[in-house]
Structure 1
Amino acid sequence: MALQWIILTYVVAAEAATAILLTVPTPKVIKSKMVSLVSLVLQPSLFIVPFSVFQLMDIYWKQEHRLMCTGEICTASERDRYEKSIYKAQRNVILCAAAVLLYWFIYRICRYYKDIQSMEEVERRYKDE
C-alpha cells in the first residue's frame, strides 16, 4: 500500500517543480520550448486524476469502516495507532488534492501561454498587412 503513496508523492513533487519552472520568468524562446515539452507530457500524465480520485475513495471507505478507539477500553498504544492512522489519512487526502490541483494549474498555464502565442501571431499578421 505504501508504494502507491510514494508514487503519488513523486508525481506531486514533479508537478510542483514543473509549475515552478513554467512560472519563472525566462526568455521567450526557452519558455516556448518548455511549454511545448510540458504540453506533450500532459496528456499521458492525465492518469494522475483518476488515480487520485480512486485513492480518495479508498481513504473514504477506510474511514467509514475504521474501528473507533475512543472509549476507556483502548490502551494508550491502540489510541496512538488510531491517531497516527487518522493523521496519515489526512496527509494522503492533502496529497491527492495537491496532485489534482497541480495538474490543473500546469494545464491552465500551458493553455494560457498557447493562447498568448496565438494572439501574438494574429497581431503580427495584422501588422504585416
Structure 2
Amino acid sequence: MALQWVILAYVVAAEAAIALILTLPSPRLIKNRLVSLISLILQPALGLVPFAAFQLLDLYWKSEHRLMCTSDVCTAAERDRYEKSIYKAQRNVVLCILACLLYWCVYRITKYYKEIQNLEEVEKRYKDQ
C-alpha cells in the first residue's frame, strides 16, 4: 500500500518542478519547445486525477471504518498507533489534493503560453498585411 503513496509523492514533486520550470524566465525558443513537450505529456498524465480521486475515496472509507482509540481501555502504544495513522491519512489527503491542483496549474500555464503564441502569430500576420 505504501508504493502508491511513494509514486504519488514523486508525481507531485515532478509536477512542482515542471510548474517551476515553466514559470522561470527563459529564451522564447526554449520556452516554446518546453511548452510543446509538456503539453504532449499532459494528456497521458491525466490518469493521475482519477487515481488521486480513488485514493481520496479510499482514505475517506478507511477513516469512516477506523477503530477509535479514545477511551481509557487503550494502551499508550495503541493510542500512538492510532494518532500516527491519523497523521498519515491527513498527509495523504494533502498529497492527493496537491497532485490534482498542480496538474491543473501546469495545464493552465501551458494553455496560457499556447494562447500567447497564437496571439503573437495573429499580431505578426496583421503587421505583415
Same fold by TM-score greater than 0.5? yes
Q: TM-score of the superposition, structure 1-length normalised?
A: 0.99
CA distance in 2, matches of 1:52, 1:123: 41
For 2:5, what is the secondary structure of its paired residue? helix
Query: Any idea what the Cα deviations from partners look like across 1:73-101, whole Å, max 9, x if unmatched?
Result: 00000000000000000000000000000
SS where residue 43 of structure 1 aligns?
A: helix
What is aligned with 1:4?
4
Please give the TM-score of this superposition, normalised by the length of structure 2.
0.99
2:76 is matched with which residue? 76
Partner of 2:37: 37
The runs of at least 4 aligned residues of structure 1 exceeding 3 Å deviation read none
The reply to whether residue 102 of structure 1 matches residue 102 of structure 2 is: yes
CA distance in 2, matches of 1:99, 1:25: 24
Query: Quick one: distance in 2 between partners of 1:97 and 1:23?
Result: 21
Mapped partners of 2:47, 2:8: distance in 1: 11
Question: Who is 1:91 aligned against?
Answer: 91
Could you tell me which runs of 5 or more consecutive residues in structure 2 were left unpaired when the two chains were aligned: none
SS at match of 1:109: helix
Q: Does 1:17 align with 2:17?
A: yes
* Cα RMSD for the two superposed structures: 0.3
Aligned to 2:66: 66
The aligned counterpart of 1:112 is 112
Q: Residue type matched to 2:56 in 1?
A: L
Using the aligned pairs only, state the percent identity.
70
Match of 1:54 in 2: 54
1:26-54: per-residue Cα shift (whole Å, max 9, x none)? 01000000000000000001110000000
Shift of 1:10: 0.5
Consecutive unaligned residues of structure 1, counting only runs of 5 or more, are: none
Amino acid aligned to 1:102: L
